[in-house]
Amino acid sequence: MRKRERENPCGVCGHYHKYEEGEVCGVCGHRMPAAQERSVQQDSAFPSEILKDLLYLGSYDNASRGELLKTLGISRILNTVPACQNLYKNSFTYHCLQDDKHLQFDDAIQFLEQCERDKARVLVHCMSGKNRSPAIVIAYLMKSKGWRFAPSYQWVKHRRPLVELSQAVHQQLVEFEQRIFGSNEPVPVQPLSLSDSMPCFGFGYPKSIGNSPVPMFNQPGMPSIFERTGPNTTPSNFVFGAGRNTEQKIVESSALNVIPPTGSETPMDSS
């Protein structure tokens, strides 16, 4: 078998043929259904990055591109389909789930948590990257991040729009959520307000949140600090600029009953 046939098998039947171009498989006669041509063409050779520098989600076709995975820095692969071959055992660390009907969430999460501790990038894949492997990733987000099922699903779906959970897998995730959180009731999420995202410049005053008291200068209807000071309230003994020295001399001289001469007068002869 040529190298290209080993690295680029069909993502559905596992044999080499130009599946994306509609070519019939020479081994099993498999051919892409016309209804799936458009969705498959939208898929990418690159896996979807779910958590930066850690968790990737993809198909068997993505897992078969060894050189591309190395380029992405992926060193470990979680195979969720027992029937899928592990093509590069000498190049990647594989972990395989053995049950093809019931997803082993705890086993998969334990492996993914070890990858996180080791700071190793890992690819989670199934045959098409739409059902089993997304379910494992969603379960991992619920367990490791503490997110409920709905936001975890939205996070994965946003990063890989091809995700389509079957009814059976969906039910397994609902049961897993109930086992973790003890209830299926959604937890209300507090929206992020402007005050939460922007720093508060309170100048020593407490920030007003909810029913907390507001500083007096912020009370509705209260005049500003400029309005509360009446006009022409400059102190009588306050002058601006150089005039201060002159007035001070006058005050000090008055206390001694001496009138200082002005610049245009000549001092009187003491005799």
pTM over 0.75: no
Q: Is 126 noted as a catalytic residue in this protein? A: yes
Question: Which domains, and CATH codes, for the chain?
Answer: 1-35 (no CATH), 48-181 (3.90.190.10)
3-state secondary structure of 35: helix
Query: The tokens 């509609």 sit on which residue?
Result: 22
Residue 152 contacts residue 190 (beta carbons within 8 Å): no
Catalytic residue chosen out of the listed positions 10, 25, 84, 126: 126
C-alpha pair distances (Å), 31 with each of 22, 59, 60, 62: 6, 18, 17, 19
Element (H, E) at 51: strand 48-51
3-state secondary structure of 50: strand
Give buried/exposed letters for 85-120 (b at 16+ CB in 10 A, else e): eebbeeebeebebeeeeebebebbbebbeebeeeee
Residue 139 contacts residue 108 (beta carbons within 8 Å): yes
How do residues 31-73 score in pLDDT, each as one tens digit? Answer: 665 544 444 444 578 999 999 999 999 999 999 999 999 999 9
How do residues 69-109 score in pLDDT, each as one tens digit? Answer: 999 999 999 999 998 989 999 999 999 999 888 999 999 99
> Which residue, among 229, 247, 246, has the nearest Cα to 237 in the 3D structure?
247
Q: How confident is the model at residue 15 (pLDDT cuts 50, 70, 90)?
A: confident
